[in-house]
Structure 1
Amino acid sequence: MKKGICLLLLSFLFLNCNGQQASNTISTAELKRLLAQGEVQLLDVRTPKEIQKGAIKTALFANYFDVDFEAVATVQLNKSKPVYLYCKSGNRSGKACKILKDKGFEVINVLGGYRQWDSEKNQ
């Protein structure tokens, strides 16, 4: 009985984690190269308090936790171009990717988020 419950729990966790990784991903180093080449549609989904601590220069903003996140995000974005999303660590932006993907956007999650970007700033 205990083995069955453990297997069920592990199956659920695997499926849940797998669902969050359904979008494409990019490293912060790859994003830096793209930004240097030209215009990139970049969306920061952090809170205003987090953004006060720093942000990527060309990013648009839509707070993932706001009730109108979807509307605020989609009105700023062009569906004909890929959208790169980031948050503090990559988790929230992964969830935001799913929302925007369901709305017909091509989405790419920035792995490690702003924390990773900031740690590489002086490298």
Structure 2
Amino acid sequence: MPINFKIRIMKRGIFLVGLFLTMVVSCKPQTKEAKDITVENLQVVLENEDNVQLLDVRTPQEWAEGVIKTPIKIDITGDDFEGKVLEKLDKTRPVYIYCRSGGRSEKATELLAEKGYEAYNVLGGYLEWTEKNKE
């Protein structure tokens, strides 16, 4: 076989392998991206949308200090957080997640986004909410 023929076959083989690898990588399941929302924008959402999924991931002791509107309460440090989330939240609707100051809710937001939820971390958490909504 002539050398040019062998080179053409090798180039086609490399091209096909590259094409195959591109197809494999592009077929992986797509996850949603975690997003942030300010307390001001959350206020607008709560005023203008019905049946908002608001998730408070603080502890029961922190819930006793007060909550934002009427949240779904699931302690992120408690047993079976993921199972409770799957049981209580609707995956077809956005979820707005807060904690005391934003650290735990950021982790919860990332986890829910990986599970396919449209998840928003409330920046500054409950502390920021109470500061901005003082009467």
Identity of paired residues, percent? 43
Match of 2:83 among 67, 71, 75: 71
Equivalent pairs counted in the alignment come to: 102
1:85-112 Cα deviation digits (max 9, x unpaired): 0000111000011211121111010000
Structure 1 gaps of 5+ residues are 1-21
Structure 2 gaps of 5+ residues are 1-32
- What SS class does the counterpart of residue 97 from structure 2 fall into? strand
Q: Is 1:93 aligned to 2:105, yes or no?
A: yes
- Conserved 8 A contact 1:61-1:73: no
Q: Give the structure 1 partner of residue 3 of structure 2.
A: none
1:45-103 Cα deviation digits (max 9, x unpaired): 00000010000122111000012111112211111111110000111000011211121
Q: Give the structure 2 partner of residue 19 of structure 1.
A: none
- What SS class does the counterpart of residue 30 from structure 1 fall into? helix
Q: Alignment RMSD, CA only?
A: 1.2
Q: Give the structure 2 partner of residue 44 of structure 1.
A: 56
TM-score, with normalisation over the residues of structure 2? 0.72
Q: Give the structure 1 partner of residue 43 of structure 2.
A: 32
Mapping for residues 8-27 of structure 1, pairs under 5 Å:
23-27=34-38
Q: Give the structure 1 partner of residue 120 of structure 2.
A: 108
TM-score, with normalisation over the residues of structure 1? 0.78
Bigger CA radius of gyration: 2
Paired residue type of 1:110: V
Q: Give the structure 2 partner of residue 60 of structure 1.
A: 72
1:28 shift after superposition:
0.3
Q: Give the structure 2 partner of residue 13 of structure 1.
A: none
Q: Give the structure 1 partner of residue 24 of structure 2.
A: none
In 2: Cα distance, 1:58 partner to 1:83 partner: 13
